[in-house]
Amino acid sequence: MSARVESARPNRPRKKTSVPEFLVFTLPLLLFLVILYGTVIWNFYVSMTNWVSIAPDYSFSGAKWYVYLFRQPRFWVSALNNLKWLILGVVPTATAAIFLAYLLEMAPFPGVEAYIRTLILYPVAMSFVVTGTIWSWMYQPDKGIFNTIIRSFGVDSPFSFTNDPETATYWLIVIFIWQYLGFSVIIVQSSFRTTELQEMIEAATVDGASRLRILFSVIIPNIRSGIMVLVSLLLISSLKVFDIVWVVTRRGPGIATDVLATNMIVTAYDQRLFSAGAAIGVIIFLIAFILVIPYTLYAFKKWFE
């Protein structure tokens, strides 16, 4: 807004920034950007070399390590798990967040609303390492909290949670959803709070539309940019997931819960296949890059308008 006000008065003399000033303002940022992109390019180059021991070996070997990875069943195990994370970490979280935000917004009990909002937000302050530690207690098959509760109803629990290779990844995703739900609700709620939307909701209520109808035909179409920000955030966080897997199952049982990020660190630092590890890093970066294109375009448009 104010940018437009300013350009409407072009005759006002604007001081130019002197070169030393320019350097003070931007040099630190530029320096770290150069380091960042330098390391990205360096890493990309490492993925094309033949570095397979502790000592770096920068002899060019083309796409050899990418081919190596793609031929490996283990790579596909972790890639498939990442896909599960991307779908199940995002869709249920976003859906639940929209419903919960709407429920809280209707606020039949105002005090309760504030309490719930604060309560579900506290995991934002916690690290996945701690969350994972606590949840592995909840998940223990013998003495864990969930099975204790199930048994107190007199039923034998059918779940062995993260100890079952078939379903372990899903139980890990539950932890992720738990951690991000409160945060997602806040993002959705902040996009509810525009005056236009509130007026539209009121008009629809006066017209006698049902609450579900209002949610689907008035609210959701009007908070698309909020949902887009939320989905991008969840996509990128579930793609980068590392801590939960490392702490709760350490990729196990076997490699059943391996994801690209854990695969990368084992490949590079345990097996010393640095080039292959770098290649996985490049792949993660490319997926991240593609996933957030919609958000990036949106953010740039907002910034430069």
State the nearest-atom distance from the C-beta of 297 to another protein, in Å: 10
| Residues 158-217 interacting with another protein (rule: CB under 8 A) | 178, 182-183, 186-187, 190, 201, 205, 211
Q: Which of 245, 218, 275 is nearest to 84 (CA)?
A: 245
State the nearest-atom distance from the C-beta of 221 to another protein, in Å: 18
| Residues 5-64 interacting with another protein (rule: CB under 8 A) | 5-6, 12, 14-15, 17-18, 21-22, 24-26, 28-30, 32-33, 35-40, 42-43, 46, 56
| Residues 83-122 interacting with another protein (rule: CB under 8 A) | 100, 103, 105-109, 112, 115-116, 118-122
- Closer residue to another protein, CB minimum distance, 166 or 303: 303
Give the CA count within 13 Å in the CB-facing half-sphere of 25: 6
- Closer residue to another protein, CB minimum distance, 140 or 166: 140
Alpha-carbon distance values, 166 to 60, 186, 252, 256 (Å): 40, 33, 11, 7
State the nearest-atom distance from the C-beta of 35 to another protein, in Å: 6
Kindly state the DSSP code that residue 253 receives in the 8-state scheme: S
Residue from the set 129, 213, 254, 271 that interacts with another protein by CB under 8 A: 129
* Cβ(264)–Cβ(277) below 8 Å: yes
* Cβ(236)–Cβ(291) below 8 Å: yes
- Closer residue to another protein, CB minimum distance, 166 or 302: 302
